[in-house]
Each structure stands twice: as C-alpha cells, then as structure tokens.
Structure 1
Amino acid sequence: MPEIAGSFLADPADSSSPSRTRIIELARGQRVALAEYGDPHGVPVVFCHGWPASRLQGGLLHEFACELGARIISPDRPGVGLSPAQPGRTLADWPQFLGEMADALGLGEFRVLGVSGGGPYALAAAWGLPERIPVVSVVCGAPPLVNREDTRHLNPAYQWLLHIQRARPGVLRWLFRAARPVARLRPPLWMRSWMLRSLPTPEAETLADHHIFEACFRNYRESWRGGADGLYGDGTIYTQPWGFPLPEVRVPVRLWHGKQDRNFAWELAQEMVAQLPNCEPRYLEDEAHYSLAIRHRRAILADLLAYDPPVR
C-alpha cells in the first residue's frame, strides 16, 4: 500500500483493468481503496460491492458507464481488498464513511448502486445521506437477517453460515482463515464445467462467457486480499441489526430482483418492498442472482441515471 494518500497504483489484482486503484485518506485518518470506471466526468455513482466481493466488481459496469456518461466509484469496504479494517464498524456507520469519501473526492450529490450484499449498504446510504443522494438502486439485495428464524428462502450455504455464526462464531472465523489459501487460487479450467452444472440455468448461461467468468472470480479472489478476518468481519455485519428501520428510508429506491434467485428468494425482496415507503420494484421472471446483475447491468445503470429528482 502506498504511503501517500491519494496516489494511484497499477491495479495489483488485474493488469487488464480499465481502472487504477486509488488510496485516499478520510477525515478521521481512515484509508479506503477505490477503483473508478466509466466516464471520469460523468454523473457520479457509488458502487457498493457484494459479499464476498471487492472494488473490482464495479468493473463490470465500465463499458456501459462510458456509453451512458456515468463515473463509477467503487470502494473496497473496510477489511476487504486493499481497505484497512475498521474494528467495531456497523452498517449504520456506512453513511458517515461514504460521506467522508465523497468529500475527499470533491463530490456533492451522487447516486448509489448496491448489488447483493451491497444492497443493505445502498439502503444505509439513502437513510443516512438523503440530502446528497437523490436515488439508489438495489439489485438482488440481501435482506435483514438478525431476527430471522425462517431461513428457507436463503441459499443453503447462507443458512449454514448463519447457523454457525449464531452458534459458534469462533469456529466460523477459524474456517475462514483455513479457507483463505484455497480461495485465493485461480480455479483451473477443468473445474468450470463442474461449477456451472451446479448453478441455475440463467447463472450457468451467464458465467459460460469466459470474460465474465474471469472477471467474477478475479473480483472474488481480491476480496480475500486483506485477510480472512477482514472478510469474515464484513460478513458478520449482515447478521447484526442494521441500525435503522426500512420505513425511514425516504430516498427513492429502484429494486431489481430475479424470480429464480437462489441466494435470496424474491419473497425476501417483497418483504423489503412492503416496508420501503418510496420503492419501485422490478421482478424479472427468468433471471437469477448473478445473471440479473450482469445481463441487465446496462438497463439498471440507465434507469438509475434517468431518474430526475424533484427540485429541492
């Protein structure tokens, strides 16, 4: 990591990336790594990556951001990728963190796009910074989990992780540490067909594209760069109270969800829509979790940019 905040470095995770990683220092001395994609003079859009994911996930928007005139700002959350950990942080701390990042970049108003595990962060930003954020998009977003007893609408792997975290968090932390060396490896070509066979048809069709597959797994591997404890800590936030009630999110929300989503079934999205006072849902019949976010990324970004906020 460079010693001078605000400097640039060639992206250590992807030499073919259209972006460079930037390390900036925030008001309270916290550092954050971010990548920028798209039009550097375009409408600023802060991208909230999923879990496990990293700033590199925003790169999937680069081509369409250039076309549509969007400046994608994609930070690593604390403890993920190249951003130093911030012990004790909660989801409700995100608006202040994001506001300081925007100040450091000289941004006034900006839009927010959150995918999967980035969905709660997009909603937290809308709740905490309504004067700076005119609209947010939540794509295949994770629901509140803290008091959820009925987990049948969650991916079985998430059910297992949630159970272990509630019962034996120390064991789960140890498992993350043990898994990191393997998770950082590039999957061999022979494993790809086996991996795709286990996915819903829309996911398999999407990830059959070599470039998409490589981008997704490069992003996944980068999420482990900061260490297993950082990624584990980022994941535990989903099991804690969000720190704000959904009815207090007054900023307009564009919510996208696939009806074949096996990570978070669309019924969970319906629960959130019922609580959000200004939400426009779009349920896509033939899309799953990753396929919606990838195959419809141009439409999602265009919709976010097209929103015309009322004069304040």
Structure 2
Amino acid sequence: MTRDRSKVIILKDKRRLGYAEYGVSDGLPLFVFHGSPGSRLLFEIEDDVAIDLNLRMISVDRPGYGLSDKQKNRTFRDWPLDLLELASHLQIDKFGVAGISGGAPYALACAEMIPEKLRGVFLISSPAWINMSNHKKKMNRINRMGFTLSKSCPAILSLLYKAMNVRSKKVNDVQLIEAFRQGVKESVIETRMITEPWDINFAQVNAPISIWHGEDDDSAPLEGAKWLSSKLSNSEIHIVKAGHSLYWDESYRKMIYTEFINGYNKEQNKSKEI
C-alpha cells in the first residue's frame, strides 16, 4: 500500500491547498498538474521514477479537487499565484511545471505570468479550444459531447460525472475518487473553462515550451497541439506514437523528465561560463 504523502497549506486568502510530494526531498523540483477531472494522487506512480532521476515532484490539487478548497470564479491565471505561495512555503525558488491533459492550460498560464521562476514548461496531451472545427471533428464522441454539454446543459454533464464517480469507486480508482471528494461541480466548471477562450496572452509567453502529444490522441486531437505550438513562438512539439494516455507509458515519462533535467543542466553550465 502506498504511503500517504498528502499535505495541506493555508493560503493568504484562507483557502486550503492540497498537495503531495514524491521522489527526492532535495531533488530538482517539478510541479505537476493533474488532468480534468483528477487529483494529486495521479502521480503516486511516479515515486520510483522520481527517485531514480533525482526529482522532487510536487503534485497539487487544483481548487475544488481533492484537498483544495473551491475558488469562486477562478480562471487559469489564478493558478500561478497559488503555486507561488506553495513554492514559497516549500522554500523552492525556481522549478519546472508539467501539465497533463486538462492540467496543461495551467502550466501555460505559469509560463506567461511567472517565467522568471521556471526551469521548464511541459504541456502533455494538452487540449485546445474545441471551437476549432478540425480539432472538434477528430475528437471522440464522449469528449465532444462532454465539452458541448458543459455549455449547453451542464446539469446533464453533472449526472455523467456522478456516474463516473460511482464507477471509480467500483474499480477503486483512488485518484478519481479523490478528484470527486467534494462533488462533481468543479469538473463541470473546468470542462467549460477548456472550451472557452483561455485567459492567456499567447503573444506574451516567451518561456520555452515543450509540447508532448500522441499522434493517435482522440481525446485531445493532435491538431489542437499543433495549433498551440503555432501560437507559442518559443515552443517545440514532440509527436509520438501514442494516444491520449501517452503519460501512462513510463518510457515517455522518462523522456519528458530527462528533457527537463538536461535543460536544467544546460542552464547551470551556461551560468558557470558567465
């Protein structure tokens, strides 16, 4: 049985923010953002890999998920502010961020708002605005329906998420059970957030962005990742033979983390030369 690594801090506005740490306590810090719906427990599988690569991996519950209190009318741009408070609490000055699926827009918001703090930004299986016709056309029916319902009939989407919660308990999907700890409302809200124009100024994102995407992804089709890359002047896209679940392939995860480590080492060597 996995040891519970969960902790909570109280933010300046009195909200609780839940997180868990994996890997090495003095390793290279990387904040990882779960999908939607999801929770900090998604990254329990990473402990051994993080130890092997000397990473300090911090997985954070977004507002309304797991141990984190809800935040009224939140946007993607609110997230970097929460993250800065957590990083300060953990006495971490600079760090990397990686967003998986629905967590990717939050990593992108960090790239715009706190680039001076970042050692690497990774968007993994990222969605894009689904009003792009080609992107929506190639999306699987379930996701397409979910995104549509989030705007046209959120009450029905809420019922579907409740059914997902019931199923997660039957199969003991711990990270999803934790995602729905406070109910399904946040999942409905976040689904709608993804479908609407993101409150991120792409032209202001100058931090290097690494995009990893599966060519067979039908949950967040590749066209969306290519569109994101075209909007981000300092991005590199890695297209791999995988679907939306590329993150579950340990070999790809190690490739992503190794890119992060190599980028950090390169930066350190440059600093020594100056």
Aligned to 2:224, which of 268, 272, 275?
268
Structure 2 residue corresponding to 1:179, chosen from 163, 170, 177: 163
Structure 2, unaligned stretches of length 5 or more? none
Return the offset for 1:134: 2.5
Indicate how the Cα distance of structure 1 residues 181 and 140 shifts in structure 2: closer, same or farther if over 3 A, else same: closer
> Is residue 153 of structure 1 aligned with residue 138 of structure 2?
yes
Q: Is the 8 A contact 2:16 2:67 kept in 1?
A: no
Shift of 1:283: 0.7
TM-score by length of 2: 0.90
Contact 1:114–1:122 under 8 Å retained in 2: yes
Percent identity over the alignment? 30
Match of 1:297 in 2: 253
Q: Give secondary structure in 2 for the equivalent of 1:37.
A: strand
How many angstroms does 1:18 deviate by?
A: 4.3
Mapped partners of 2:26, 2:152: distance in 1: 49
Given that residues 80 and 226 in structure 1 are in contact (C-alpha distance below 8 angstroms), is that contact kept between their aligned partners in structure 2?
yes
Q: Is 1:138 the counterpart of 2:123 in the alignment?
A: yes
Instruction: Note closer, same or farther for the CA distance 1:256–1:175 as it changes in structure 2 (3 Å cut).
Output: closer
CA distance in 2: counterparts of 1:129 and 1:269, whole angstroms: 22
Contact 1:79-1:234 at 8 Å conserved across structures: no
118-127 vs 18-27, which moves further = 18-27
Per-residue CA deviations over 1:43-91 (Å, capped at 9, x if unaligned) read 1100011112110112222111101111000011110112111111111
CA contact (8 A) 2:76 2:200 kept: no
- Provide the residue aligned with 1:94 in structure 2: 79
**AA matched with 1:235:** T
**Counterpart amino acid of 2:169?**
L
**Distance in 2 between residues matched to 1:60 and 1:37, nearest whole Å:** 9
**1:80–1:234 CA contact under 8 A, matched in 2:** no
Q: Aligned partners of 1:239 and 1:36: how far apart in 2?
A: 31
Where 2:226 maps in the other structure, the secondary structure is helix
Which structure 1 residue ranges, 4+ long, deviate > 4 Å from structure 2? none
Is contact 2:150-2:188 (8 Å) kept? no
1:35-184 aligned within 5 A: 35-145=20-130, 147-150=131-134, 151-176=136-161, 178-179=162-163, 182-184=166-168
Secondary structure at the aligned position of 1:131 is classed as helix
User: 1:149-201: per-residue Cα shift (whole Å, max 9, x none)?
Assistant: 5511322112101221222234433544x4265144132xxxxxxxxxxxxxx
Range with bigger deviation, 54-63 or 239-248: 239-248
Relative to the length of structure 1, the TM-score reads 0.79
Give the Å deviation of 1:276: 0.8
Using the TM superposition, give the Cα deviation of residue 289 of structure 1 relative to its aligned residue in structure 2, in angstroms: 1.3
- Give the helix-richer structure, 1 or 2: 2
> 1:306 is matched with which residue?
262
Relative distance call for 1:34 and 1:127 in structure 2 (3 A) is same
Shift of 1:232: 2.3
Whether the 8 Å contact between 2:165 and 2:177 is mirrored in structure 1 is no
CA contact (8 A) 1:115 1:293 kept: no
Pick the aligned partner of 1:244 from 191, 196, 200: 200
Aligned 8 A contact 2:165 2:176 in 1: no
